């Protein structure tokens, strides 16, 4: 099968289009014929080697996390899916590889594709949808009447998280460029801050939750918009000791991550707020709940561009510019 492969960790290194063996599904796997694959900043960070200490893939490996396609074979213990089912998923860590013609995915990570979505639209959802769900529902426990600040509202996670937060009954603030302001307002943002002209730290006060997806400077400033007891949840780091424990990392890595996050954890403690890092995980049951919201019209995918499979490198480069409004997808077949 054709697949885009990382031959070595290299910043902005090109993926190689290669002939690779078709994966053999395990007992609990479904083998998916890939029709579309979402492109995420996580893909470029993995290629660059930013996560090789905690996600030690051994090159050459196939990149890609989001998939939508058709089940063509099932393992002997699979009970939820059958050949011919249209499905979508975020492949779990350690078993990624959606920039390919086929991928074997654990049954527990897969959901039936929303029939209201095209393959390309469905492929745009899993990673950003699960990230938003795990931050706002699982970690934050966001409730009606609370206030949440979602950074980078026109990005992949932002466009999904705004819609989910509004569904949960929260007041939503976000940052966006002037060109994206109308988009994020249509999605449900109540307060839109032009990050080129305004400092969110001077505008927002007394918020319950911040979803941080930006750099260390923005993370630091986010502490000041929270009320006492508020929650600062970062998907861009630094990882904290709880993450290290949950991942079962060795003692050296646990110490490294404790030191990396010591500064922000201490400042959060002194400000009377909570800090935590979230690295989203594959979860088919949560994806099923997201499917229900999509089918009922609560959440709509926001797409920027669809690239042909052979232009996967160009798609990844475009995502890295940070200019995409919503999601970028490659059409595999």
Q: Are residues 199 and 136 in the same domain?
A: yes
Residues 265, 307 share a domain = no
The alpha carbon of residue 136 and the mean position of all alpha carbons in its chain are separated, in whole angstroms, by: 13
**For residue 5, what are its two tokens?**
């492969």
**Statement to judge: residues 267 and 138 lie in one domain:** yes
Range of the domain at 119: 2-125+301-331
Torsion of CA 44, 46, 51, 56, to 10 degrees: 180
186 vs 189: CA distance, rounded Å: 7
**Angle, helix 312-320 to helix 41-48, in steps of 10 degrees:** 100
* Residue 136 shares a structural domain with residue 224: yes
Residue 210 and residue 96 in one domain: no
294 in any annotated domain: no
Do 226 and 254 share a structural domain?
A: yes
pTM for this prediction? 0.97
- Give how far Cα 61 sits from Cα of 4, 33, 92, 97, Å: 8, 18, 14, 7
The continuous run of DSSP H or E covering 50 comes out as none
Could you tell me if residue 293 is inside a domain? Answer: no
Give mean pLDDT in consecutive 10-residue pieces for the chain, a chain of 333 residues: 97 97 97 98 96 91 98 98 98 98 98 98 98 98 98 98 98 97 98 96 97 96 98 96 91 92 97 97 98 97 98 98 96 97
Do 164 and 197 lie in a common domain? yes
Asked if 232 and 310 sit in the same domain, the reply is no
Domain identity same for 107 and 163 = no
Q: Which single residue is written with the structure tokens 């890609």?
A: 64
Q: What is the pLDDT of residue 132?
A: 98
The burial of 191, by beta-carbon neighbours within 10 Å (0-12 exposed, 13-18 middle, 19 or more buried), is given as middle
Tokens 């390309």 found at: 120
Q: Count of domains in the chain? A: 2
The answer to whether residue 270 sits within a structural domain is yes
Q: Residue 283 falls within a domain, yes or no? A: no
Inter-residue contact 208 to 147 (CB < 8 Å): yes
What Rg value do the Cα atoms of the chain yield, rounded?
19
Q: Is residue 282 part of a domain?
A: no
Query: Cβ distance 53 to 253 under 8 Å?
Result: yes
Domain with residue 37: its CATH number is 3.90.180.10
Helix (H, G, I), strand (E, B) or coil at 86: strand
- Residue 3's pLDDT is 98
Residue 37 β-bridge partners: 330
Query: For residue 284, is it within any domain?
Result: no
CATH of the domain at 167: 3.40.50.720
The Cα–Cα gap between 232 and 223 comes to 7
Domain match, 95 and 203 both: no
Residues 53 and 163 occupy one common structural domain: no
DSSP 223: G
Q: Are residues 109 and 151 in the same domain?
A: no
DSSP for 237-287? S---HHHHHHHT--HHHHHHHHHHHHHHHHHHHHHT-EEEE------HHHH
pLDDT for residue 54: 87
């Amino acid at each position: 099968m054709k697949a885009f492969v990382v031959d070595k960790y290299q910043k902005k290194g090109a993926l190689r289009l290669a002939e690779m063996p078709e994966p053999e599904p395990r007992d609990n796997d479904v083998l998916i014929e890939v029709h579309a694959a979402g492109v995420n900043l996580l893909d470029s960070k993995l290629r660059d080697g930013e996560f090789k200490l905690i996600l030690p893939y051994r090159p050459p490996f196939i990149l890609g996390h989001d998939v939508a396609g058709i089940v063509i074979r099932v393992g002997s213990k699979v009970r939820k899916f059958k050949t011919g089912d249209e499905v979508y998923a975020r492949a779990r860590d350690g078993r990624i590889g959606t920039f390919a013609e086929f991928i074997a995915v654990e049954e527990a990570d897969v959901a039936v594709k929303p029939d209201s979505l095209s393959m390309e639209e469905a492929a745009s959802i899993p990673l950003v949808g699960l990230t938003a769900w795990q931050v706002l529902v699982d970690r934050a426990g966001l409730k009606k009447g609370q206030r949440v600040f979602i950074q980078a509202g026109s990005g992949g996670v932002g466009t999904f998280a705004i819609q989910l937060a509004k569904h949960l009954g929260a007041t939503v603030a976000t940052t966006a460029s002037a060109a994206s302001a109308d988009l994020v307002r249509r999605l449900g943002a109540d307060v839109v801050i032009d990050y080129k002209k305004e400092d969110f730290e001077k505008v927002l006060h007394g918020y319950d939750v911040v979803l941080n997806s930006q750099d260390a400077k923005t993370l630091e400033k986010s502490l000041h918009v929270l009320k006492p007891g508020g929650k600062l949840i970062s998907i861009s780091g630094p990882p904290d000791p709880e993450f290290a424990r949950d991942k079962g990392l060795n003692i050296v890595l646990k110490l490294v991550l404790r030191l990396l996050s010591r500064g922000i954890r201490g400042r959060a403690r002194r400000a009377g707020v909570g800090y935590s890092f979230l690295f989203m995980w594959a979860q088919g049951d949560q994806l099923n709940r997201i499917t229900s919201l999509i089918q009922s019209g609560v959440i709509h995918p926001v797409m920027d561009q669809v690239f042909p499979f052979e232009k996967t490198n160009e798609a990844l480069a475009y995502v890295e510019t940070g200019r995409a409004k919503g999601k970028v997808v490659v059409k595999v077949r």
